[in-house]
Amino acid sequence: SLTGTGRITAAAEAGGHGVGAFNVALLEQLEAVLTGAGRAGSAVVVQVSENAVAYRGSLAPLAAAALTAVRESDTPAALHLDHATRPELIRSAVAAGFTSVMYDGSRLPWAENVETTRRITDWCHERGVWVEAELGEIGGKDGAHAPGVRTDPAEAAAFVAGTGVDALAVAVGSSHAMTERSARLDLDLVAALRAAVPVPLVLHGSSGVPDDTLAAAVAAGMRKINVATHLNAVFTRAARTALRDAPALVDPRRYLAPAREAMAAEVARLLGVLGATGSA
């Protein structure tokens, strides 16, 4: 059933567990996220990024599929637009039925990021849409590495006060698109941000973060945990194995079904790492 990221996140804050927010670009990945969350007995955030929209060439087909799948599912799920840099994409997503969006102005200078984020947040709030924003670019996205970037707690508090956002993505040591789970997080900084910032904190680039560190980050106050690359890797590895094992295979369902199943199992496992099993 369709719910909101705000509602899922608030329940997780109260329960002291994390929220799994998983990116999908394909119908099979969408199915995997809902199936995995269903097995874990957890609500989940289904994310579609601006990059995924660019890959599809259009937002509408994936949005329609995602909304239909979520509504038909027994699992409470939110549909979230991830890493939008174009305000017009946010407008289309809200029109299409997304219940939350991330506006990513992290590459803009401070004053412009505050001003643009505030305008977009006001517009979204008038329509009941929950808004996540980012401060302090999280390294790795589009190859734009920003190693060592950290979000300052006082700046984060000022940013939230100046924009009215509902959640804040912070830079605490993770980096986008890592294929090895070797990132170290500054957990003291997570705790300091949690104390300074009145809204839930979001961890991007969680693929590179080991299981025990993810659990520790949640314990320190990190709430929404975004995972894309790691699930893509699990999905692709299973597809590759199926293709290698059957060189005469022609039906895409023969390699997409095991890929979907592998991703569903990993979604369920990750929700366990976040402490969300049985929380729905």
Interacting residues toward ligand G3H by CB under 6 A: 23, 82-83, 176-178, 204-208, 226-230
Name the minimum Å distance from CB 155 to ligand G3H.
20
- With CB under 5 to 8 Å by kind, the binding choice for 100 among ligand G3H, Zn ion, none is none
Measured at the CA of 201, the angle between CA 235 and CA 67, to 5 degrees, comes to: 50
Is the CB of residue 222 less than 8 Å from the CB of residue 205? no
Name the minimum Å distance from CB 138 to Zn ion.
6
- Kindly tell me which of 31 and 82 has the beta carbon lying closer to ligand G3H: 82
Report the alpha-carbon distance of residue 128 to residue 248 in Å, rounded: 51
Question: Which amino acid makes up residue 156?
Answer: A
User: Whose CB is nearest to Zn ion?
Assistant: 204
- With CB under 5 to 8 Å by kind, the binding choice for 28 among Zn ion, ligand G3H, none is none
- Kindly tell me which of 85 and 158 has the beta carbon lying closer to ligand G3H: 85
By the rule CB under 5 A, 204 interacts with Zn ion: yes
What are the CA-CA distances from residue 96 to residues 5, 47, 130, 162, 247 (Å)? 16, 14, 15, 28, 40
82 a catalytic residue: yes
Name the minimum Å distance from CB 160 to ligand G3H.
19
Catalytically annotated residue among 74, 82, 212, 245: 82
Neighbours of 195 (CB within 10 A): 10
Is the CB of residue 118 less than 8 Å from the CB of residue 159? no
Tell me the window of 9-17, 183-191, 203-211, 261-269 that interacts with Zn ion (CB under 5 A).
Answer: 203-211
Backbone angles phi, psi at 221, to 5 degrees: 120, 5
- Kindly tell me which of 223 and 280 has the beta carbon lying closer to Zn ion: 223
Report the alpha-carbon distance of residue 36 to residue 73 in Å, rounded: 12
- Kindly tell me which of 54 and 249 has the beta carbon lying closer to ligand G3H: 54
**Token pair 């199943």 in the structure block, residue:** 261
Q: Print burial letters for 216-227: b (CB count within 10 Å at least 16), e (below 16).
A: ebbebbbbbbbb
Name the minimum Å distance from CB 210 to Zn ion.
18
Measured at the CA of 163, the angle between CA 150 and CA 199, to 5 degrees, comes to: 65
- With CB under 5 to 8 Å by kind, the binding choice for 201 among ligand G3H, Zn ion, none is none
Catalytic positions, written as ranges:
82
| Chain residues that interact with Zn ion, rule: CB under 5 A | 204
